[in-house]
Each structure stands twice: as structure tokens, then as C-alpha cells.
């Protein structure tokens, strides 16, 4: 093995990952060369993935190469043009199937897999032209996190196994398709429908991303811009005009942005998440286009992952809070830098309220689920998305910030990112670094900060730093006045987005049809342009079984695929027999328009 390959091997830590079949302790892919053809009729990707391998020692232990796959139709595996024997393990509902390739001696430097994806590949959503804005072309996008890369790329799909990659992507020529990836653009031959990419920084497979369809681009700053369907582009570019400032603000605290460009693509509304931090190219839901930049904190979040997650990556999904808790903390710092402390504090207040109610409920049924360092035995890491990893994780860091002061804490985090860039991190190793570098080994201080409790015990430690928002005293008073006698005099038309959210979330439970009607007449919440406010109100529609709101509810559920909005609404409807039938009827209609990942979650909710 070359010295470089040995260095790459050593840098990608071999933490055992229960969510990968890869035999990474003895052999690891370090580079992928993809050549893929998109077939929009058959809804498959077909082509080859050539893996460059690094071996432990002389490679003698690596008699086989175990890769992850899910539903892939493997046509052949070769090394130097010679076929290699391979076999598929049984299908596991969470992990997919092991792809075991027998390695010859001497060990090959490269192995090529020829394959096609299954029509139901969990990472892929194939949209019909009518599901796009202009209706001209079909659309495809990927979502690889957490365990879905294996449904379109045969490799070791573990966050601890970093790989550089290059790709050739072929689409039907002459129809106006654009292909983008979370990678550098290479020499595209647009007329021939051939697009080339290269990703020189090593990334874990969950960050490999692709989208294709009728896509246009508009620059925002020197290294920032936005991709979207042409009809959405002007609105998106206006909404995202602060992105360059966001990068500058983050660099000022945590050091240089290491990925070259930072673009965002606004996907069609069926994208199952709010955002996904694909390197160089954030994927985002159009539901954040509120018209007043009020929901762009989501972009700050995805940008923050360029440090926490993409630069220093959770070694396994049990360490997910290292990705999302850190990112939620940094998101708050970016929002504060751009939009002020008062705004950031209101956003924090909303998150902490949700964290509080979630923890309270989970302590009754699934106390272990409130532990930061997650036990994922038998679980799908996709289910980790929620207030524990995100907001309990961020609260832990806020406690540390309060204890050591911003200056020292910022220097600590900056140094941490710098020392571990393009590496992986386990919870255990992070705590060692924290104790050594920030606590200077002071055991008494360590105990006093309750670090052990924060990371390994259920619930919320008593030293959580609460949010203090004076503005929320007014929104609460307005909600209470309405509850008391229906008065809306304290409601101010010029409230900001979090103030409206706070007001709607504090409305009485339950409400009478007359109360619901009065609110919707006064503010048209059920059709609000701000989707967070609209969602909060539609939750009241669902809980109160308020029939005049059903049309708006159905319209909402049928027009977007963001799991964070869909799941609570369907769950609230399923609670009462009277509304469960409505949920089932809407779901039957909308299910074909949802992404496989959202369907996976919702099938269990709407039974
Ligand atoms: N990386 C996550 C999305 C994710 C996590 C997808 C785990 C699949 C498995 C992304 O950064 C994220 O957290 N998105 C949030 C937005 C954020 C502002 C909280 C979302 O999609 O809602
Ligand atoms: Zn995130």
C-alpha cells in the first residue's frame, strides 16, 4: 500500500458500526468512481461504481470485501476486467443486504461493481413532470442520510468510512436536464446529457447527493448561489440573499469554510426534510420560502454542518448528537450574528419548549430515548431526528458556554474542528478532549457541570440554561387574553415569525369551533404564508376536529412531503376515531406523492 493510502486508512477511524456490514477493520474504500445513467421511465439508475481500496497491513486478512447494499440489482463484479465471485446476504429491514465479494490474491487495488437501483430505492424520489412547477421534465433527487446511500451506491455505508469520489452522470440528451451533485462541477457536455463531478475532500457516503431535472442557477455571493426550478428561482434568490454573510459570520467564529463553494438547491415540495447538509450543496425544502427571510435559520443550520458533521463527523449513528447538537448550537450563533440576540433568543425559546414537552412525554414511555448518546440496537437512525439529539445536545453546549465564557468556549470549538478536520469522532473521544482542553482535567468542575448526566442519563439536567425572551411575555399575554374572553386586542400585526408561532402555540387546548373561527377570520392562519405558523394552527385544526379547517388541512398534507410537518398532523388526527377516517382518506390520496423515507415513517402512524 502506498504511504498515502496508508494515511487515508489510518485517518478513517475503524469504530465498529452496527449499521454497516462493511469489514472496515481490514479493507476500506477510499475513492469511488461512479458512472451512472438515469432512466426516468424505468425509475432506475444503472451503471458502475469502481471502488479504490486500502488494506490494513499487507491485506492478507481481507479475503472478502463486504459492502452495504439495499435492493441493488448487482450484475457483475470485476477487478482488472476479471469477474469476482459475490453473494448477497439476507435482507434486513433496517440495514439492507450485505454484498460479499471474494477478493483474489494479490489483493486488487480497484474493484468495479456493475448494478442497477431498485424502482423503490429508499434514497431516491422520482417525480413525474406534473409534480414539478413547470411540469416540463421529470425530477430526481437523492437523500442518503442515514442508511440510504446503500440503495444507490454499493460501498461501505458508514459515517466512519470517508471516501473521495468522481462521477459521470448521463441523462436523456437534448431535453433540458441539468444534473447537480454535492461536488465540484467538472466538464459537463450539456447537449449530450453528460455531467461530470469530482469531490476532492473525503466524505462519508451519507453525504453523497444528486439531483436532476429542470434546474436553473443564480449566483448570490462570490462563493454562494442557489439552484431551483426556474419558476422558483427568483423568490429563492431573494429569500437567501444573506447566505454569503452567513458564511462570513461562521468563519469569523470557527475558522475557514473548507469546502470551496456553498450553494443551495431548493427542491420540489416532496423533499422529506427541511434541509440536508450535502457538502458544497445544501438540499432544502421550498417550505422555508416565507417571503420575509423569517425561516432561513434552516440554512444557517445546514451551513453549520460544514464544520459540525461534514468536517468532524459522528463516527457512528449513536454519536448523532455530535452532528446535530453542535449544529443546532452553531445555528443559534449564526442567527444571532445576522438577525440579533433577541431573534435568536425567541427561536431558542421555541426549541426549548418543544424539548421540554418531548422529554416530559418520553420519560413516561421511553426514558432511554432521552439519552444523548443513543442506544440504537435494533433501531433505525432516521428516528433520531428530533429535540433530543438537536436541542438537548445544543443545550449541553450552551451550558458549557455559560460556564467558561464565550471567548474560551469559541476558541475550544474552533480548535476542536481544526484538529479533527476530515476525521470522525465518538462521544467517548469527544468527552476526553473536552475534559483535557476545556476543563484542564479539573475533576471537581467536571462533576459540577454534570457532564456524565448530560450525555449518558435520561431527562434534562438542572443546569440547563433557560431562554429568556421578553417579547414572549407579550405573545403569551395575548394568547391568555384570547382564552379568557376572546379578545384579540393584544395581538400586534407587526409581530415577527417566532412571535406568531409563540402566540399560536400558546392558544388554549381545546378550543371551541367559535374560537377557531374567530382566529382564522382575523388572521387566516390556516392559509398563512409562513409554514411554521400554518403548521402550528393546523395542529389545532386536527386536535379540535375543526371541520371548516379540513380543506386547508388536506391542501397542506397533499402539497408537501416534509416529515416534520406531516407526522405530527397525521398522528393528531389518528388520536380520535372521528378524525382517523379523515387521516386515512387523505393519506391514501397523498401517499404516492411522498418520498419513500416519509412513507416509511407515516405507514406506521396512519394504520
Ligand atoms: N442532517 C439533517 C437531516 C437528517 C438527519 C436526515 C438524519 C436524515 C437523517 C439536517 O441537517 C437537519 O437537521 N434538518 C432539519 C432542519 C433543522 C433546521 C433542524 C430538518 O430537516 O427539519
Ligand atoms: Zn442537522
* pLDDT value of residue 12: 58
Identify whether residues 378 and 522 lie together within a single domain. Answer: no
Cα 263 to Cα 502: distance, rounded to the nearest angstrom: 31
CA of 385 to the centre of ligand 1 (A): 7
Which of 276, 334, 380, 601 is the pocket-test mutation for ligand 1 (most atoms within 8 Å of CB)?
276
Edge to edge, what strands does the sheet with 194-203 contain? 82-83, 73-79, 110-116, 44-55, 27-39, 163-170, 194-203, 184-185
Report the pLDDT averaged over residues 100-127.
98
At 8 the pLDDT is 56
Atom of ligand 1 nearest to the CA of 597: 8
| pLDDT, average across residues 4-27 | 78
On the question of pLDDT at 2 being above 80, the answer is: no
| 407, pLDDT greater than 80 | yes
- Co-location of 59 and 174 in the same domain: yes
Which of the residues 97, 277, 302, 499 is marked catalytic?
A: 302
In a domain, 265, yes or no: no
Supply the DSSP symbol for 199: E
Mutate to test the pocket of ligand 1, among 274, 374, 391, 564 (most ligand atoms within 8 A of CB): 274
Residue 376 shares a structural domain with residue 517 = no
Q: How far is CA 606 from the centre of its chain?
A: 23
Residue 163 has pLDDT above 60, yes or no: yes
Band (260; pLDDT cuts 50, 70, 90): very high
Query: For residue 15, what is the domain's CATH number?
Result: 2.60.40.1730
Q: Ligand 2 centre and the CA of 122: distance in Å?
A: 20
The answer to whether the bond into 516 is cis (omega within 30° of 0) is no
- Give the number of the ligand closest to the Cα of residue 391: 1
Residues with CB under 5 A from ligand 2 (ion): 324, 327
- Helix then strand then coil, in percent of the chain rounded to 5, is 45, 20, 35
162 lines ligand 1 (CB under 6 A): no
Asked if the structure places residue 589 within a domain, the reply is yes
Give percent above pLDDT 70 in the chain. 98
The model's pLDDT over 419-462, given as tens digits with 9 standing for 90+, comes to 999 999 999 999 999 999 999 999 999 999 999 999 999 999 99
Residue 130 Cα to chain centre, angstroms? 26
Return d(Cα 553, Cα 540) in angstroms, integer.
10
pLDDT, residue 355, reads 98
What separation in angstroms does the CA of 447 have from each of 7, 22, 439, 463?
Answer: 37, 38, 11, 12
* pLDDT band per the 50, 70, 90 thresholds, residue 508: very high
What's the 145 CA to ligand 1 centre distance in angstroms?
9
| Ligand 2 center to 178 CA (angstroms) | 27
pLDDT tens track for 369-392: 999 999 999 999 999 999 999 999
Same domain, 188 and 321: no
The CATH number for 434's domain is: 1.10.390.10
Which burial class, exposed, middle or buried, applies to 114 when counting CB atoms under 10 A from its CB (0-12, 13-18, 19+)?
Answer: middle
- Is 60 exceeded by the pLDDT of residue 88? yes
Within a domain: residue 353? Answer: yes
Co-location of 28 and 158 in the same domain = yes
Q: Specify the residue with its C-alpha closest to ligand 1, atom 8.
A: 145
Radius of gyration for the alpha carbons in the chain, expressed in angstroms and rounded? 24
Residue 501: inside a domain: no
pLDDT tier, 15 (very low <50, low <70, confident <90, very high otherwise) = confident
**Do residues 8 and 116 share a domain?**
yes
Q: What is the mean pLDDT of the chain?
A: 97
Same domain, 349 and 448: yes
Write the DSSP string, 14-29.
Answer: ----TT----TTTEEE
**Backbone torsions φ then ψ of 493, nearest 5 degrees:** -60, -25
> Given 434, 456, 478, which residue is the final one in a domain?
456
Domain count, the chain: 3
Q: So what's the pLDDT on residue 6?
A: 63
Q: Is the pLDDT of residue 526 over 90?
A: yes
Q: Is residue 317 part of a domain?
A: yes
Shared domain check, 403 and 519: no
User: What pLDDT, on the 0 to 100 scale, is given for residue 39?
Assistant: 98
* 75 is a catalytic site residue: no
Please give the pLDDT value at position 343. Answer: 98
240 grid coordinates: 437567501
**436 lies in the same domain as 545:** no
Is residue 275 within 6 Å of ligand 1 at its C-beta?
yes
Ligand 1 atom at minimum distance from 297 CA: 18
475 near 495, Cβ under 8 Å?
yes
Whether ligand 1 lies within 6 angstroms of the CB of 309 is answered as no
523 in the same domain as 446: no
- Give the domain extent around 547: 509-602
Domain membership flag for residue 241: no
Torsion (CA) 290, 293, 298, 303 in degrees, nearest 10: 140
Is residue 336 located within the same domain as residue 451?
yes
pLDDT at 13 exceeding the cut of 70: no
Amino acid at each position: 500500500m502506498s504511504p498515502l493510502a496508508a494515511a487515508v486508512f489510518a485517518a478513517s477511524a475503524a469504530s465498529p458500526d452496527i449499521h454497516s456490514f462493511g469489514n472496515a477493520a481490514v479493507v476500506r474504500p477510499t475513492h469511488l468512481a461512479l458512472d451512472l445513467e438515469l432512466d426516468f421511465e424505468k425509475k432506475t439508475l444503472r451503471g458502475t461504481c469502481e471502488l479504490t481500496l486500502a488494506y490494513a497491513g499487507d491485506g492478507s486478512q481481507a479475503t472478502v470485501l463486504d459492502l452495504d447494499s439495499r435492493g441493488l440489482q448487482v450484475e457483475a463484479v470485476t477487478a482488472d476486467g476479471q469477474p469476482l465471485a459475490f453473494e448477497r446476504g439476507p435482507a434486513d429491514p433496517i440495514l439492507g443486504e450485505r454484498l460479499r465479494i471474494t477478493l483474489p490474491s494479490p489483493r486488487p487495488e480497484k474493484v468495479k461493481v456493475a448494478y442497477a437501483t431498485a424502482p423503490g430505492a429508499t434514497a431516491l424520489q422520482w417525480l413525474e413532470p406534473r409534480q414539478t412547477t413547470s411540469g416540463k421534465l421529470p425530477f430526481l433527487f437523492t437523500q442518503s442520510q442515514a442508511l440510504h446511500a446503500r440503495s444507490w451506491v454499493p460501498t461501505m455505508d458508514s459515517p466512519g468510512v470517508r471516501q473521495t469520489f468522481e462521477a459521470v452522470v448521463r441523462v436523456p440528451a437534448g431535453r433540458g436536464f441539468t444534473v447537480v451533485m454535492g461536488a465540484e462541477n467538472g466538464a459537463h457536455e450539456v447537449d449530450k446529457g453528460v455531467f461530470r463531478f469530482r469531490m476532492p475532500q473525503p466524505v462519508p457516503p451519507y453525504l453523497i447527493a444528486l439531483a436532476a431535472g429542470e434546474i436553473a442557477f443564480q449566483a448570490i455571493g462570490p462563493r454562494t448561489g442557489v439552484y431551483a426550478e426556474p419558476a422558483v428561482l427568483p423568490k429563492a434568490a431573494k429569500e437567501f440573499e444573506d447566505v454569503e454573510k452567513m458564511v462570513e459570520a461562521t468563519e469569523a467564529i470557527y475558522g475557514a469554510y473548507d469546502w470551496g463553494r456553498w450553494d443551495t438547491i431548493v427542491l420540489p415540495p416532496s423533499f422529506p426534510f427541511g434541509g440536508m447538509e450535502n457538502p458544497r450543496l445544501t438540499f432544502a425544502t421550498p417550505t422555508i420560502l416565507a417571503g420575509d427571510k423569517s425561516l432561513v435559520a434552516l440554512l444557517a443550520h445546514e451551513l453549520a454542518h460544514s464544520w459540525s458533521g461534514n468536517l468532524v463527523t459522528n463516527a457512528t449513528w449513536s454519536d448523532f448528537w455530535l452532528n446535530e447538537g453542535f449544529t443546532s448550537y452553531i445555528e443559534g450563533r449564526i442567527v444571532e450574528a445576522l438577525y440579533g440576540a433577541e431573534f435568536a433568543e425567541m427561536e431558542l425559546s421555541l426549541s426549548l419548549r418543544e424539548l421540554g414537552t418531548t422529554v416530559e412525554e418520553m420519560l413516561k414511555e421511553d426514558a432511554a430515548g432521552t439519552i444523548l448518546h443513543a442506544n440504537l440496537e435494533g433501531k433505525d437512525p432516521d428516528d433520531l431526528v428530533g429535540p433530543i439529539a438537536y436541542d438537548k445536545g445544543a443545550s449541553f453546549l450552551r451550558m458549557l458556554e455559560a460556564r467558561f465564557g464565550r471567548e474560551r468556549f469559541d476558541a475550544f470549538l474552533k480548535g476542536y474542528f481544526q484538529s479533527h478536520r476530515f476525521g470522525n469522532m465518538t462521544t467517548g473521544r469527544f468527552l476526553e478532549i473536552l475534559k483535557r482542553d476545556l476543563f484542564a482535567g479539573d475533576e471537581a468542575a467536571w462533576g459540577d457541570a454534570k457532564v456524565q448526566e448530560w450525555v449518558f442519563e435520561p431527562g434534562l439536567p438542572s443546569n440547563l440554561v433557560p431562554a429568556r425572551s421578553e417579547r414572549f411575555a407579550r405573545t403569551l399575554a395575548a394568547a391568555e387574553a384570547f382564552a379568557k374572553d376572546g379578545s384579540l386586542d393584544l395581538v400586534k400585526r407587526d409581530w415577527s415569525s417566532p412571535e406568531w408561532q409563540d402566540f399560536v402555540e400558546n392558544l388554549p387546548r381545546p378550543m371551541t369551533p367559535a374560537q377557531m373561527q374567530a382566529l382564522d377570520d382575523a388572521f387566516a392562519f390556516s392559509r398563512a404564508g409562513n409554514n411554521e405558523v400554518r403548521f402550528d394552527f393546523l395542529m389545532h385544526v386536527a386536535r379540535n376536529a375543526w371541520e371548516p379547517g379540513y380543506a386547508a388541512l388536506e391542501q397542506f398534507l397533499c402539497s408537501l412531503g416534509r416529515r416534520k410537518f406531516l407526522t405530527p398532523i397525521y398522528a393528531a388526527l389518528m388520536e380520535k376515531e372521528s378524525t382517523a377516517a379523515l387521516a386515512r382518506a387523505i393519506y391514501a390520496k397523498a401517499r404516492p406523492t411522498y418520498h419513500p423515507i416519509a412513507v416509511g415513517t407515516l405507514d406506521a402512524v396512519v394504520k
